[in-house]
Chains A and B, each alone.
Chain A
Amino acid sequence: MVQILVYGAVISAIYAMLAVGFTLIFGVARILNLAHGSFYALGAYGVYTFTAVAHLPLWLASVLAVLFVAVFGMAMERVLVRPLRRSMLAVLLITLAVALMVEQVLLLVFGSEARNVPSMVNATYHFAGVDISAQRLLALLGGILILTGLWLFMQRTRLGSAILAISQDAEAAQYMGIPSDRIYSIVMGLSAGIAAAAGVLVAPFQTVIPGMGLLPLVKAFAIVVVGGLGSIPGSIVGALLLGYTETIIAFKISIEWSQIVSVAAVLITLILRPAGFFGKRAAF
């Protein structure tokens, strides 16, 4: 029981970090970013490279990995996505091309075998009869801190208000003098950075392989559909819902069936309430 509670919370926090970035860049820039899972994979491989190859301390490696991925996301937006923004299909395809490239580069550089990333904290806590590694708790804590930070940033700063304004009405915001292109770049960097942070936090207890970005992309999409495409609170609620459902099914029935949750959730939501639980815009 305690195990379900804690594991579910950890998974939900990771999912929420992935889904928030995914929904943010869609809500603000209308970019459906299929390379979002690659940011997560790049974050994990980044921390691996900086510790195992460059022998940097773990905290520095984590920060560097997140910054690197954020810059990578901004460069991708500037060079590849912006010239194609008039066509939704072209944007989908170009982000997909980036996702494939990233996977191929990782495969070429690191090979297909799984890599190990050392834990940031090695302790294992023991309460109510279950063992929970401190790394998982750190992932949970990190997720909560980052999401709170994001919320404060969006609500309290000028830049955050500009981002919210663009997401409400891009054209009107532009007339008010908000530089939309620069905001898109910043949001892409932000979304990439958050996804990379999720990758960094899970790297010690997940298998780090080149194709690790695909499943998180599917999960992020499912969460965002359940919560409502473009809504940040919706994606956090969706992450909790999906994270706990998966954990409960994994513990009570079998880990196999938990894989189906995301697709079933997407289909059920689209049939019952296509706009998602917190979506403002009707999807029809």
Chain B
Amino acid sequence: MGILKVDRLAVLLASAALATAPLLFDNTYAIGVLTVALCFGMWSASWDFMSGLTGRENFGHSLFIGAGAYTAGFLNVQFGLSPWWSLAAAPVCAVLFSLVIGIPTLRLKGPYFALAMLSGAAVMQNLTIIFSKYTGGQDGLNGLDPMLDSPLAYYYLVLIFLIVSTIILKVVANSTWGTILRAIRGDEASCQACGINVNFYKIASLMISAAFAGLGGALYAHYQLQVGPDLFAIVLSINIIIMVYVGGLGSIYGPVGGAILLNVLTESLRAFSEYRLWVYTLVLIFILFFMPQGLIAPLWRRIRSFVA
């Protein structure tokens, strides 16, 4: 079998496995856990598209997630619009945030982008608490309408969004566009010398990354039916980075697997779920020291070379 065929087969198998997973457990709690895992999958894949490919690490992905989720919350709770509108509005709002941070900082070398994203997210979290008149403060906005009545149907909706967006991101990452992004990671100066508008590519890929993160945020908001300041938390960004590292940097599909694996793992070891952050930090330290390539993407490459 050719490599392309194996890949397609794997996408089908993985989608089928995710589609049957909730049927095996058949209780709302398990379906909820899986829905959250899918949202994390979307966030990890979108983080990886920008940061994994170009090597400009983003330490505040939760800024886009929170922006998307709060957009959904405002439109639905304050203005009473149908939840479906937020699917269109949330990515737009997240992209606006990405422009505010991206345009000044992505032109620069050094750690400015990483730190500006970190502070942007931290300050937004504070602002949501301070302007509690509009945002509900620590409690956030409550009482969002569900998009679909049955949790199982909503799980499938999120699954479709996840599969479609992962395929889109992966196809773009494999195209000339993705090659250019990888070249930027390798040597920015040479790319510029070849006449590539480096800044345009970096900012545009941050916009794409933000759009999918915002979409994931809106989907998450309409599952939780509540949005709160925790969606801007640094911890959320860090969890996503850890999931990407477990999956394998720069592979897009790996981070999705890493997100689902870590979410399901910490949830199934119920005794540990209180120490979730501990588990994640220890996993991060272990990966950094012993498996810098990650777990899922290298594993899949090995299986593929065995099959194909």
Binding site for B on A (CB under 8 A): 32, 34, 80, 83-84, 88-90, 92-94, 96-97, 100-101, 104, 214-215, 218, 221-222, 225, 229, 256, 259-260, 262-263, 266-267, 270-271, 274, 283-284
Contact = CB atoms under 8 A, between A and B. Distances in A.
B281 A97 contact: yes
A260 B101 CA distance: 14
B127 A218 contact: no
A244 B13 CA distance: 60
Nearest to B124: A263
B288 A84 contact: yes
B116 A274 contact: no
Contacts of A284: 107-109
Interface stretch (B164-172, B233-241, B297-305): B233-241
Contacts of A32: 111, 114-115
Contacts of A97: 281, 284-285, 288
10 contacts: A92-B57, A100-B281, A104-B278, A221-B118, A259-B123, A260-B127, A263-B120, A263-B123, A270-B104, A270-B116
A282 to B, nearest CB: 9
B306 interface: no
B110 interface: yes
Nearest to A229: B110
B284 A221 contact: no
Nearest to B245: A93
Interface residues of B, number: 38
A28 to B, nearest CB: 15
B123 A260 contact: yes
B308 interface: no
B289 interface: yes
Given A263-B120, A271-B104, A221 B115 contact: yes
Contacts of B120: 263
A259 B130 contact: yes
A100 B122 contact: no
B126 interface: yes
B105 A214 contact: no
